Chains A and B, each alone.
Chain A
Amino acid sequence: MTGAIAPRYLPAGESALVVEFGERIDVAVHDRVLALDEAVAAAHLAGVIETVPTYRSLMIHFDPRRTSTPALIDAVRGLDPAGAPRKPPRHWRIPVCYDPPFAEDLGEVASRLGLSQDEIVALHSGALYRVYMYGFAPGFTFLGGLPEALAIPRRAAPRPPVPPGSLLIAGGQALIASVSMPTGWYQIGRSPARVFDWRREPMVLADIGDMIQFERIDAAAFAQMCIDAQTTAGR
């Protein structure tokens, strides 16, 4: 972390502080976000309620009746994130079906990118992704590591809703949808895995900073996994 620029401390009202390490999506920037996140959690700073790591910054929510922005900045400056022991990232293999009817936009993506559907599946399932953050909705997973060949701009107008578990790409990013919603992204596959379930412990599978690979399954395996999941969940 030598040569890394000092973070910026930006107020988000009197009850939240943004510690910003950069303005871009970058593994080194995200590493610093996660290191500070762990250091803040370990330090149990007075008044801190919770933290939200994102691509480039850590938002610290705090009780303004118990601490203040300047006091919190001082406390954060006193931490040593680089020296703290880091939790090693876990690697997840998540099953994905890239076949109809689970990959509604695969044909459209193929024609827009000038690639075959098989090439797109090989690129998407061959990459190693990092969980950068959750946002938008519970368990909605923002991933980094999409191969450049799959960089496709967002749609001009949103497409009809995709179901939970959909694998989405657009704007050089990859996502796992956890809720049904209309989207400006392209659906190129779907996983039977439930990435978020508040009744389950832990409620999200992958923690922020964990690594994910997608493993191709066929429609029959998809159906079987859904049945198995329902049986084990008992609902």
Chain B
Amino acid sequence: MRKQQRDGDLARLRILAAGPGATIQDPGRHGYLRYGVTPAGPMDWTAFQTVALALGNEAGAAAIEVSVGGLSVGAEDAPLMVAFAGGAFDWRRDGQPLPAAARLILRRGEILSARAGKSGGWAYLGVAGGVDTPAVMGSRATHVRSGIGGLEGCMLRAGDVLSVGPTRVYAPAADAAIDAPWLSGRLDPIRVVPGPQDDYFSAEALAGFFEANFTLTAAADRMAYRFEGAAVAHARGHDIVSDGVALGAIQIAGDQAPLVLMADRQPTGGYPKLGNVILADIGRLAQMRPGESCRFSRARLDEARAALAALDKEIATTPARLRSLRREMTPAWLLENNLIDGVVKTRERR
């Protein structure tokens, strides 16, 4: 059992069960790509940010990324304000169904669990104040392959106990669903800005890529999603002298199948990249499950920026989109759950 404990920390989160793939993530590790260090970070930044905003956390606060392997947690020592959002996961508190996106107070002894639901590959469970594991190279994001970040560079396991950072405000609040239509998984094509090596493909191969229907294969993890559908033939061979790789790069190797490079990508690569999935659509793509299909459409840079600005604006409305779940909050309940005490003992932010 791995424990993080520091004197004076009231609230901690206990991992009661964790399927494979549950990790601690923050916005990612930046500044070290040049040394071969993978950025990591959330697969679906839109759901990750929704959770942070629902909790009033700083944008850099770390949260738990839950995979289809599921997770269950409990509040250790003191009640915790938590929030979750992402794909259409089946969230329950003590077996009682909850919305797929909500913010609530998790009392001691209650079990909050997530299982894969009807769609979606990733969900985020945040806690007010953020998960407080040691930062490595300025980030708490876990990159399992290189054993960096999170809790000892590993996926979360049953028995792990996570410290929680100090909260700005710890006022008892009603449990609330988060009405986040931007997480609903729109079916429009995934938009792609061509480049940097689109000139390695013939006009016909590119046109074919933007017309075909692609299905996500089982080769889909935090590093890359492999699609099958139409072969994308190279006009100039499939080896290039290595250059940089950005999030959402669509790499076409010798097998002519599109490989979309995700959060755990290597910072450089030696295959031609025909384009990059735009940031506004990368979360939507990340939420696809193997067997699901999509199409790709061509986007200009200004369209990509406009789509991002529009999505940012929508996500920023999160605090106004909390809809009460009507759990009674009587003074007796508050006392019983140590919340009034918790308010008195609230620590100042560092």
Contacts and interface: CB of A to CB of B under 8 A. Distances in A.
B193 A52 contact: no
B37 A138 contact: yes
B240 A23 contact: yes
Interface residues of B, number: 46
Given A12-B195, A50-B30, A139 B279 contact: no
B273 A12 contact: yes
A135 interface: yes
B35 A136 contact: no
Nearest to B37: A138
Contact of B244 (A23, A24, A57, A136): A57
B241 A23 contact: yes
Given A49-B30, A134-B34, A198-B136, A16 B243 contact: no
B303 to A, nearest CB: 9
Interface string B258-284: 000000001111000101111100000
A178 B38 CA distance: 14
A13 B276 contact: yes
A137 B275 CA distance: 23
Contacts, number: 144
A174 interface: no
B244 A50 contact: no
A51 interface: yes
B240 A61 contact: no
A54 B269 CA distance: 10
Contacts of A69: 301
A138 B273 contact: no
A133 B146 contact: no
Given A10-B195, A13-B249, A14-B193, A52 B241 contact: no
Given A10-B196, A12-B195, A55-B243, A138 B36 contact: yes
A61 B148 contact: no
A135 B242 contact: yes
B146 A11 contact: no
A135 B246 contact: no
A192 interface: no
A180 B195 CA distance: 33
Nearest to A26: B241
Interface string B134-158: 0011000000011010000000000
Given A53-B34, A139-B36, A203-B35, 16 more contacts: A10-B196, A11-B194, A12-B244, A13-B248, A13-B275, A14-B193, A14-B304, A16-B247, A50-B31, A52-B34, A54-B243, A56-B241, A68-B302, A133-B242, A134-B34, A179-B146
8 closest A-B pairs (Cβ-Cβ)? Answer: A59-B244, A13-B276, A10-B196, A16-B246, A135-B268, A14-B304, A134-B36, A12-B246
10 contacts: A10-B195, A10-B196, A11-B194, A12-B244, A15-B247, A15-B279, A16-B247, A24-B241, A52-B268, A57-B244
